[in-house]
Amino acid sequence: MASIQAKTIPAPGQLPNVRHDALRVFNVLKAGGVAILPSEVGYAIFASSADAIERAFAAKQRKAGHSVGIIGTYDLHRGLHVLDDKRFEMTRVLTQDLDMPLIIVAPYRDDHPILKNTTPQTLAKASKNGTIAMYVGGGSLLTELCKLNEAAGQLVVGSSANVSGKGQKFRVQNIEQEVLDVADIIVNYGLQRYHIYGQASTSMDFENMRVIRKGSCYELLQERINKFWGIDLEKDETK
């Protein structure tokens, strides 16, 4: 097994190179590997093949039967999810114009091309009650990686890079050793943007306009949905 330093990019003294780094990660995922990457709401662990997904979530000590999310661009969300035009306009403004990281939960098209090469085992993990949760946003590296994945028809699932229940990690050095060990490549871009929240991403069911999880930037989501669409979301009583 490669040492943590040997499988971490960029190497000491090198600068981040989003296109180059995304391509390296893409090739690792395509070959059945596991990757740890930065996202604005903390470091996350990603995999594509059924075996890699099992290894990643075993390292996280995730309980069996727990559904997982996928990562994607707004375009994949628009093509895969089933929502009306008003809801798609809402998610476009939030994730594209206002640059918000967000987990979007909605029904999905089971005939979408990206699902053709997805095993039933993986699809069962990535879907729940006829919906799929997709993380959209999260920074330029994830956006570039998602474009490569989608062009290749590769579905990638992910979760926070931590042992389950141990909280978000906003620096690589804070990730538990057993999670670092399972990764074939680690991208270390240092402290991530929304560390001030100490929380995972906000998740929302856009078909029913129901908040599933209040996380990072929730107060922004709450205010903006009210300001632009006149919809009142529930308050975060923990604040």
Q: Report pLDDT digits (tens) over 8-49.
A: 999 989 999 999 999 999 999 999 999 999 999 999 999 999
Q: Which residues contact 88 (CB under 8 A, 6 or more apart)?
A: 78
The greatest distance separating any two alpha carbons of the chain, rounded to the nearest whole angstrom, comes to 53
Cβ pair 155, 135 in contact under 8 A: no
Locus of tokens 């989608």: 150
Please identify which residue in the block is written with the tokens 């996350």: 44
**Which tens digit of pLDDT belongs to each residue from 140-162?**
999 999 999 999 999 999 999 99
CB 168 within 8 A of CB 182: no
Fold of 8-229: DHBP synthase (3.90.870)
Q: In the chain, what are the domain boundaries? A: 8-229
Q: What does the pLDDT look like over 199-237, one tens digit per residue? A: 999 999 999 999 999 999 999 999 999 999 999 999 877
Do 122 and 50 meet the contact criterion of CB atoms below 8 Å apart?
yes
C-alpha span between 169 and 93 (Å, rounded)? 28
pLDDT at 55 over 70: yes
107, 81 in Cβ contact below 8 A?
Answer: yes
Average pLDDT of every residue of the chain: 93
Tell me the average pLDDT across 100-115: 95
pTM passes above 0.85: yes
Looking at the chain, how many residues does it have?
239
Cα–Cα distance between 222 and 5 in angstroms, integer? Answer: 41
